[in-house]
Chains A and B, each alone.
Chain A
């Protein structure tokens, strides 16, 4: 392996940035500019993460903030102190005497990278709630539909119902409509007018609102119905989606009696907010917290430091707040981690500006989370035989029996007795729903501990036993 200026033979990198989405790209570019020998690692084949998921030769027409991506992409590719490793799937980050060893696999081969500090920028994925029929092929996460369109140039279906909650449903529906799909409706389970209660947060973030208005006008142009307090409560079909049931919801998300109606569609795209990817902070023993949207997030201080030494966290992993906030947090993490490893000075005015922007973005995010809550009424949509865990095919009835009959008092216990979260995705998809179902039996909402019981993954990605046994240390050559 060749040695770059960033990689000094035998020495660990100053900083390993884990994840090359908005937060990670921003952190890596900042750190290298501050003189830190930096390595940027991502499982994807190219930078951008989920937000800027793109194809080779992509003109950015489907993307927001594309010029920012182009700049970060250019700077990250060109900087001599920044190495980039794509296609590296991180399965474990180990604390060592000198700092950290980041273990990954690339084409099934083991890779290991050593660094003094890490910046965790692992992002988030769509949060899901189970409902009857959600395992039928043709039901996708909203993010999947978006990834197929932006990353692959493929429409997920012809007649699409977009359902769930949160502002992300709008760009998904608008993208589909612009690309030629018939969007039969956007079914927003919440009532986002509550957003108006936070005028300050809103005023400080006018560009985001303009973005939302853009999407709404696209939907209007394509005559896409937008319904609030309404969602898809069942998908129909066995081998393929043949339709869906849409119903009105009350403020607790219970179905309004008599409001259910069948709609004709071949595709359902659903998302109920986002779940941050927190396995690395959990592996490293960072303290976690429950965010306003009910997600488990890594606790960070004003410098984006996690509670474990040498660990910085930026972007969704410390609180879902969108790409702009992620970039600000990434920049802050890059500055502070550089100062900690090589003493590079930080311009005070730049810091003050970043902190102001972070505060504004975070208050906007908090207002969003308040405007799009996920109350427990969705649990009444489930039949006893609705799958909760897709991997291990564990039904809602089995989960409830583990609580009621076997005495499981927390989600981890349910996982141990009944196997939800024991499959290949390790509870990424069913963790939140399982925690809600268990907590509900106790008449409460999930706590950080509940979620942690479904989110701890010492082996974050599968790797072959052969790759594990072989081991590797790339930068000790």
Chain B
């Protein structure tokens, strides 16, 4: 239906939040964009997460810089698309410390985060109970992060792409990429697909925004990036009035996010949604693409959530979903051109922070493709960094 259009400048593989943000910013920069997606818009990991836009869970470093930029950009996106249209809520994050020692450790973290530009306020028990009246009275204090926000992730992906389409982008859903097209000099010039309508799609640049499947795709392109699945469960309660005001999590969460341990880790994250449900998240397991529900994980999440918000014991679990977070061994995303395959760029490996980091990722990639100097140095995110690391 769309073939008569001229060859696009940019072909984005993947219509998850990152691919959608790339399409949004590239079209805004005046580039011609096509998007190819094997499922539906936002149907992968984007549909299996909580929509977090966080700075609070990051240590100072390149990822926090990316998150801070993204947090600003998401505000702009929300103004552009309409806050309610993507259920953008600048609700702020509350980290809860269960013991004096944890509170002490958290204060060290917030001090370092503040120097990096994070708006982090140490709070005592009384302030905590004022911010979150339903939180456990066992808590001794914590921290408040004013920049933490939330969107409805699939809606955000759909709305970003809707805007991109209005600016001329074409989106091919239900179309899987089966291979890459290269010219005589080895440069990537397009992709082959499993669709009879568009068996080949050509473009000046191809962006790998295939989320957790970006690793497989990069191998297909002959320029591998080590993106691996980390399984995570989210529990969804029955609809409730506003019972949890912010994104609330335990101080241990920060330790887990940065962890490389195999096996199961849970540290609970609890937050409300505009739909009324409360989301309970953040189990992390490295078990490949295993789609089975793991009852011990669910039990542990439930117990931890009740520990944080005792009223939840009598609240019903309505649904549960699982997703595969795309992670790289050094827990940093891969963003930018791949020197091993001219014409190919990556925008993947965002682990559990894909929604939050999508804004900056799309923006930086668009700057790169339109010849501007990116607002952030992309060196820490370069695709070929893993080869140097292996002896």
**A positions within 8 Å CB-CB of B:** 92, 94-95, 101, 103, 283, 285, 392, 402, 405-410, 412-413, 416-417, 419, 422-424, 426, 457-459, 462-466, 468-469, 471
Contact = CB atoms under 8 A, between A and B. Distances in A.
A103 to B, nearest CB: 7
Contacts of B321: 458
Contacts of B47: 412, 416
B163 to A, nearest CB: 11
B162 A416 contact: no
Nearest to A391: B239
B162 A406 contact: yes
Contacts of A423: 239
B238 A413 contact: no
A464 B41 contact: no
B295 A426 contact: no
A462 B158 contact: no
B40 A463 contact: no
B302 A469 contact: yes
A373 to B, nearest CB: 27
B173 A409 contact: yes
Given A416-B47, A417-B158, A466 B306 contact: yes
Contacts of B322: 458
B376 interface: no
A471 B294 CA distance: 13
B313 A466 contact: yes
B320 interface: yes
5 contacts: A407-B165, A423-B239, A465-B312, A468-B299, A469-B306
A283 B321 CA distance: 12
A465 B302 contact: yes
Given A417-B158, A465-B237, 19 more contacts: A95-B292, A285-B291, A406-B155, A406-B158, A407-B173, A408-B40, A410-B43, A412-B43, A422-B275, A458-B293, A459-B318, A462-B318, A463-B317, A464-B315, A465-B302, A465-B313, A465-B315, A466-B302, A469-B299
A413 B293 contact: no
Interface in B227-266: 235, 237-239
B16 to A, nearest CB: 12
10 A-B pairs with least C-beta separation = A466-B313, A413-B40, A462-B316, A416-B154, A469-B303, A469-B302, A406-B158, A468-B302, A409-B173, A465-B302
Interface of B: 39-43, 47, 154-155, 158-159, 161-162, 165, 171, 173-174, 235, 237-239, 275, 277, 280, 291-293, 295, 298-299, 302-303, 305-306, 312-322
Interface of B, helix, strand, loop or mixed by DSSP? mixed
B298 A468 contact: yes
Contact of A464 (B43, B159, B165, B316): B316
Given A417-B155, A458-B320, A464 B275 contact: no
Given A413-B42, A458-B320, A469-B299, A405 B162 contact: yes
A466 B299 CA distance: 9
Nearest to B321: A458
A408 B316 contact: no
A392 B275 contact: yes
A466 B310 CA distance: 9
A459 B320 contact: yes
Contacts of A422: 275, 277, 319
A465 B317 contact: yes
B237 A459 contact: no
Nearest to A442: B174
A469 B313 contact: yes
A77 B164 CA distance: 64
A462 B317 contact: yes
B41 A408 contact: yes
Given A407-B161, A413-B40, A469-B306, A103 B237 contact: no
Contacts of A465: 235, 237, 280, 302, 305-306, 312-317
A392 B292 CA distance: 28
A342 B15 CA distance: 51
A416 B42 contact: yes
Nearest to B314: A464
B155 A94 contact: no
Nearest to A408: B40
A242 B315 CA distance: 37
A119 to B, nearest CB: 21
B134 to A, nearest CB: 14
A407 B299 contact: no
Contacts of B161: 407
Contacts of B302: 465-466, 468-469
Contacts of A466: 302, 306, 312-314
Nearest to B37: A409
A233 B297 CA distance: 47
